Amino acid sequence: MRFLGFLTRRIVGIAAVMVGVSIITFAISHVIPADPVAAALGDHATDQQIEAFRAEYHLDRPLPEQYLTYVTGLVHGDLGRSIRTRRPVSDDLFDSFPATIELSLAALLVAIVVGIPAGVWSAIFRGRLPDHLVRLLSLIGGSIPVFWLGLIVIGLFYYQLGWLPGGARIDTFVSPPPTRTGLYVVDSLLAGDLEALRSSLLHLVLPALTLGYFSTAVIARMTRSSMLEVLGQDYMRTARAKGLQERIVILRHGLRNALIPTVTILGLTFGSLLSGAVLTETIFSWPGLGRYATAAAIALDFPAVLGVTLLAAIVYPIGNLLVDIAYFWLDPRTQHG
Amino acid sequence: MASTAALSVRGLRLVARAPILANPLNIAALALIALFAACAILAPVLAPYDPLLQDLASRLRPPSSEHWLGTDSLGRDIASRILYGARISLIIGVVVVTVAGVVGTAIGLVAGYAGGLVDDALMRLTEVFLAFPALILAMAIAGALGPSLTNAIIAIAAVTWAVYARLVRGQILSLRRREFVEAARAMGASRTRIVVRHLLPNALAPLMIQASFDLGSSIIAAAGLS
């Protein structure tokens, strides 16, 4: 019952965040001293064309009325029509979001599977070779710009060695699997299409590693730092004195208590990756949300920008909700009240 | 006079004994930072060329004794451009991390310690800023206030503070019921004292790590905005 109340409060919170984000984005879109009509129609549009365009996108109405029209549409599931692609924004998001989810989840998986064990390893061997190695790799991961790393891995693994594909979601000679989730890997599995599965997995490797390296570096450093604090605690000594295996002492008593900052960063990474990774998507020709959002912002395509922002306004609170649930699981004392 | 000298020698000894300087790696890191800062500050003296000087006859040259790091597509000397660029980059990195860190930490401390509705409201506020597209915000700020270094810093800091707020709040949630906090409370310590003297110092480690990563990423973000 208490959990239900908590969940209801958070769902109301998501709605509040969406309203806040939409109002601010809407207001800001009118502060920018640039004309979306000119951006869409060019300099040679006739007055008649401009008027028709303004009427089509309700730009001839007062700002509050424009917002109300937008919200009314939103309630009916209509996110408006993109100025740039001339398609419904919901269709555009439906096309680009699954690609972003697939890439983000793969990058997040890299960060979790590599980052957390690396952080634990580094803390256990503090001041020795494994620690120096993890810290050096983390330093590199945090310092290398993603656009440079992307180009280097494409140059090496695609151009020089020819081991992995350099871009896109699937080979041009392989038919994409029938759309069920929009995630090629999952859809290929569901369709039992091994050729598509192989191709989509191979296409995922380089962009996921490129995107995941920075997050892996942050997570490894966070985990190392918290583990170092935890390793010196009395309860760790007690656990060892009880005769528990070192593995259990480290994982159950140490790691569990050290994961709070790591989980916070994972939640934020989840949100930021799902909101689109512009550079990685651009370098690897990945047709995801980041490219769509940036193209929309540059073209002053405000219906599309609003659509992407609203999606982020759902994704971040969900990520943070999962983080808060994880806090409680890791350390029940985190609960208020 | 003698006592002042004795004090300053004692002060130097204390500095030398500080934990951060006990590790040779830390000294090397500090020396490297000092070197970068010195290069940035002394750019007008060290740079061999004007960073804006175009020489189309020597476009895209490889590194040589004439141009240490080669030239770009407009024939500008890359080494000179890096030296001058470091001045802006260092300012952006330090200011963004300081502003975002201070604002985010303050909000995270209040949210984590107060809990309840205050926590809910502040965390929803951070989510609004996290969800907000940085590019649009930067364009709006540049539109309203004009494009400048300060406005780029404002735009990046405006979307960065929320990360610190979430991190600090998470730390405070896990620390606020620890024995040392209960002990401070039992001894009659005020809320402010508990938060500032007992909770904050114990929540700093992840913030430092985040700040070290943000120093670099805010510079890249500023490069993207320009």
CA distances from residue B35 to A288, B39, B88, B197 in whole angstroms, order as listed: 41, 6, 16, 34
Whether residues A260 and B137 touch (CB distance < 8 A) is answered with: no
Task: Judge if B31 and B113 occupy the same domain.
Answer: no
pLDDT tens profile B110-135 = 999 998 889 999 999 999 888 877 76
Q: Mean of the pLDDT values across residues B91-101?
A: 94
Residue range of the domain that includes B2: 1-40
Are B133 and B193 part of one and the same domain?
yes
Whether residue B110 is contained in a domain is answered as yes
DSSP A173-236: TSPPPPPSSS-HHHHHHHHT-HHHHHHHHHHHHHHHHHHHHHHHHHHHHHHHHHHHHHHTSHHH
pLDDT band at B2, cuts 50/70/90?
very low
> Does the residue B173 lie in any domain?
yes
β partners of residue A81:
A88
**Do residue B107 and residue B208 come from a single domain?**
yes
Looking at the structure, do residues B29 and B131 belong to the same domain, yes or no? no
In a domain, B150, yes or no: yes
pLDDT at position B11 is 55
Cα separation, A190 vs A182, in Å, equals 11
Q: What is the mean pLDDT of residues B205-214?
A: 92
Tell me chain A's radius of gyration from C-alpha atoms.
24
The mean pLDDT of B20-36, rounded to a whole number, is 84
Interchain proximity A327–B170, CB inside 8 Å: yes
Residue type at position A286? W
Question: How far, in whole angstroms, is CA B34 from its chain's centroid?
Answer: 15
Residue B97 lies in a domain: yes
Whether the CB of A325 is below 8 Å from some CB of chain B: the reply is no
Q: Is residue B210 one of the residues assigned to a domain? A: yes
Residue B71 located in a structural domain: no
Q: CA nearest A337: which of B110, B187, B176?
A: B176
**Residues 251 through 270 of chain A touching chain B, CB cutoff 8 Å:** 260-261, 263-265, 267-268
In order of A47, A98, A174, A200, the CA distances from A193 in angstroms are: 53, 19, 10, 11
The predicted model scores a pTM of 0.85
pLDDT mean across residues, chain B? 85
The reply to whether B94 and B15 lie within a common domain is no
> Touching check for A133 and chain B: CB below 8 Å?
no
Instruction: Judge if B214 and B111 occupy the same domain.
Output: yes
Contact flag B119-A336 (C-beta cutoff 8 Å): yes
Once rounded to an integer, what is the mean pLDDT over residues B48-63?
90
Q: What is the pLDDT of residue A273?
A: 85
In a domain, B22, yes or no: yes
Name the nearest CA neighbour of A273 among A336, A210, A197: A210
pLDDT at B131: 84
Give the ipTM.
Answer: 0.84
Instruction: Determine, for residues B174 and A312 on separate chains, whether the beta-carbon distance falls below 8 Å.
Output: no
Q: pLDDT by residue (tens digit) across B161-181?
A: 999 999 999 999 989 888 889
Task: Using an 8 Å CB-CB cutoff, list chain B residues near A217.
Answer: 213
Mutate to test the interface with B, among A18, A35, A264, A274 (most CBs of B within 10 A): A264
* Residues B96 and B174 grouped into a single domain: yes
Q: For a pLDDT cut of 70, what percent of chain B falls above it?
A: 89
- pLDDT at A64 (0 to 100): 86
> Do both B8 and B111 map to the same domain?
no
Same domain for B221 and B136: yes
Q: What is the CATH number of the domain that holds B144?
A: 1.10.3720.10
Search chain A and give the residue with CA nearest B224: A279
> Looking at the predicted structure, is the pLDDT value of residue B38 above 70?
yes
Encoding tokens for residue A198? 């192989």
B123 and B213 both lie in a single domain: yes
B133 and B218 belong to one structural domain = yes
- Which pLDDT value is given to residue A35? 73
Which tokens sit at A220?
């490894």
Give me the pLDDT at residue A70, please: 86
**pLDDT-wise least confident of A172-181, B37-46, B82-91, B216-225:** B216-225
In this structure, what token pair is assigned to residue A8? 């209801």
Mutant choice from B33, B97, B127 vs A, greatest count of A C-beta within 10 A: B127
The A residues from 211 to 240 touching B (CB cutoff 8 Å) are 214, 217-218, 221-222, 225-226, 229
In a domain, B66, yes or no: no
Token pair 């494994």 is found at A130
CB contact under 8 Å between B131 and A13, yes or no, is no
Q: Are residues B3 and B103 in the same domain?
A: no
The count of structural domains within chain B is 2
Regions of chain A where pLDDT drops below 50? 337
DSSP state letters, A113-180:
IIIHHHHHHHHHTTTSHHHHHHHHHHHHHHHS-HHHHHHHHIIIIIIIS--S--SSSS-TTSPPPPPS
